[in-house]
Amino acid sequence: MVLTGLIANMKYDWKVKTLCCSSAGTYSESDFTNTQIFTTLPVVQQTCNVPAGLNATNISQTGVTLSWSHSVNSCTYLIYCYPANSTNTNAVKYVKTQDTVVNISGLTPNTNYVWKIKTYCCNQNGGFYGESSFQRFTDFQNITGTGY
Phi, psi (rounded to 5 degrees) for 89: -70, -20
Tell whether the model's pLDDT for residue 137 goes beyond 60: no
Overall domain count for the chain:
1
Q: Which residue has the higher pLDDT, 31 or 127?
A: 31
Tell whether the model's pLDDT for residue 19 goes beyond 80: yes
The whole-angstrom separation of Cα 22 and Cα 135 is: 70
Q: Tell me, yes or no, whether 96 lies in a domain.
A: yes
Q: What is the DSSP string of 33-51?
A: PPPEEEEPPPPPPPP-PPP
User: What range defines the domain where residue 90 resides?
Assistant: 55-137
Q: Tell me, yes or no, whether 26 lies in a domain.
A: no
Tell whether the model's pLDDT for residue 78 goes beyond 60: yes
The whole-angstrom separation of Cα 85 and Cα 114 is: 9
Q: Tell me, yes or no, whether 147 lies in a domain.
A: no
Q: Tell me, yes or no, whether 15 lies in a domain.
A: no
Residue 27: per-residue pLDDT: 82
Residue 91: per-residue pLDDT: 61
| Cα pseudo-dihedral 67, 133, 82, 142, rounded to 10 | -60
What's the whole-number mean pLDDT along residues 89-117? 80
Q: Tell me, yes or no, whether 6 lies in a domain.
A: no
Assign residue 80 the CATH number of its domain.
Answer: 2.60.40.10
Q: Tell me, yes or no, whether 36 lies in a domain.
A: no
Q: Which residue has the higher pLDDT, 141 or 27?
A: 27
What's the whole-number mean pLDDT along residues 42-46? 67
* CB count in 10 Å sphere of residue 88: 8
Tell whether the model's pLDDT for residue 127 goes beyond 60: no
The whole-angstrom separation of Cα 118 and Cα 80 is: 9
* CB count in 10 Å sphere of residue 115: 24
Q: Tell me, yes or no, whether 61 lies in a domain.
A: yes
Q: Tell me, yes or no, whether 42 lies in a domain.
A: no
Tell whether the model's pLDDT for residue 66 goes beyond 50: yes
| pTM, full prediction | 0.57
pLDDT band at 37 (very low <50, low <70, confident <90, very high): very high
